[in-house]
Amino acid sequence: MHIRRLVKAGLASHTVSLPTNWLKKNKLSKGDVIYLIEEDDNTLRIRTDMKEADKPGKEITIITDKKSIDSIQREITSAYLNNYSKIRIAGNDIRKKSKEVRRILHDFVALEIAEQTPEHIIAKDMLNLKHKVDQGAHYIITQMFFDFNYYKNFVEKARDVGITVPILPGIKPISTISQLTSIPRYFSVSIPNHIVEAMENARTAETIRKAGITKIAELCKQLIDYKVPGLHIYTMGRGVATRDLLKILFG
């Protein structure tokens, strides 16, 4: 039998060291993934692989109304420890609490924010993605996004759980005012205020189009400077906007 002390790591999690002999026996090293299965009798099993019956696939909704941030944090932590692969945080006051909720989620290495709307925030377990890569995926394409930090944080968390394949950023050129509302509504993504303001301050359809494409080009340049393996552009039938974006980027 081995006895270990819990060590606090961040605001919402703890770590524990594993026996060296067990690590060597299972040929484990830094970055490898292990699986923790919580039993009904409070026993915690550690596995080096995942049986089909043990694979996480549960979903849960956490309501924030009339709850303190500490209470919400405890519920998120409980959901994470109980292998919920999709955690939806929603409530009438989610807008006011979104900054704190995002901070809580960011403290979990294996959780990434997959969606954020005025109505909810959805976090997903990166280990599900790791399992898909282990089954043979050669690369990953992200959903469309409009904030560089989304991609940067996603890649960092993916690397932390042992995902090493190339991760291509999903880019969507914006060229009309209507897209500022339709894209968030249909794809559950957020568009930063600086993009919205640049397009809304433009006077004509042509200047609106140029403002939107210029902002997306700025995002692409950030990504290129970050040494991304490539860009995946969601054209969705708007070839002219894509052409103009590529012209700004590559001439």
Give the pLDDT confidence of 107-165 residue by residue, as tens digits: 787 888 888 888 899 998 887 788 888 888 899 999 899 999 989 988 998 998 899 99
For residue 189, which phi and psi values (nearest 5 degrees)?
Answer: -125, 160
With a cut of 80, say whether residue 11 has pLDDT above it.
no
Asked if residue 189 and residue 119 are part of one domain, the reply reads: no
| Same domain, yes or no: 81 and 181 | no
Q: Are residues 189 and 121 in the same domain?
A: no
Mean pLDDT (the chain, rounded)? 87
Is the pLDDT confidence value at 167 over 60? yes
Asked whether residue 230 is assigned to any structural domain, the reply reads yes
Does residue 115 sit in the same domain as residue 171?
Answer: no
Q: Do residue 131 and residue 182 come from a single domain?
A: no
Q: Provide the domain count of the chain.
A: 2
What confidence score (pLDDT) does residue 54 get? 47
Q: Report pLDDT digits (tens) over 82-111.
A: 878 899 999 999 999 998 998 898 878 788
Q: Please say whether the beta carbons of 168 and 139 come within 8 A.
A: yes
What are the CA-CA distances from residue 122 to residues 2, 18, 62, 117, 129 (Å)? 37, 31, 10, 9, 15
Cα end-to-end distance, the chain, whole Å:
65
Q: Is the pLDDT of residue 173 over 90?
A: yes
- Residues 41, 129 share a domain: yes
Instruction: Evaluate if residue 245 carries a pLDDT over 50.
Output: yes
Structural domain includes residue 143: no
Based on the fold, state whether residues 133 and 175 are members of the same structural domain.
no
Is residue 120, in this structure, part of any structural domain at all? yes
The model's confidence at residue 53, banded by pLDDT at 50, 70 and 90, is very low
Let me know whether 207 and 106 are in one domain. Answer: no
Distance CA 232, CA 170 (A): 5
Q: Is the residue at 1 inside a domain?
A: no
Per-residue pLDDT tens for 13-38? 678 888 888 888 888 887 777 877 76
User: Does residue 9 carry a pLDDT above 70?
Assistant: no
pTM, 2 dp: 0.64
Looking at the domain assignment, is residue 161 inside a domain? no
Whether 229 contacts 208, CB under 8 Å: no
**Residues 100 and 209 both lie in one domain:** no
- Lowest average pLDDT, out of 11-20, 32-41, 212-221, goes to 32-41
**By residue range, what is the domain housing residue 209?**
167-250
Same-domain status, 55 and 104 = yes
In a domain, 58, yes or no: yes
Both 11 and 133 in one domain: the answer is yes
Q: Is residue 146 part of a domain?
A: no
- Cβ burial of 68 (10 Å; 0-12, 13-18, 19+) is exposed
Query: What is the rounded average pLDDT of the residues 165-179?
Result: 96
Domain match, 133 and 173 both: no
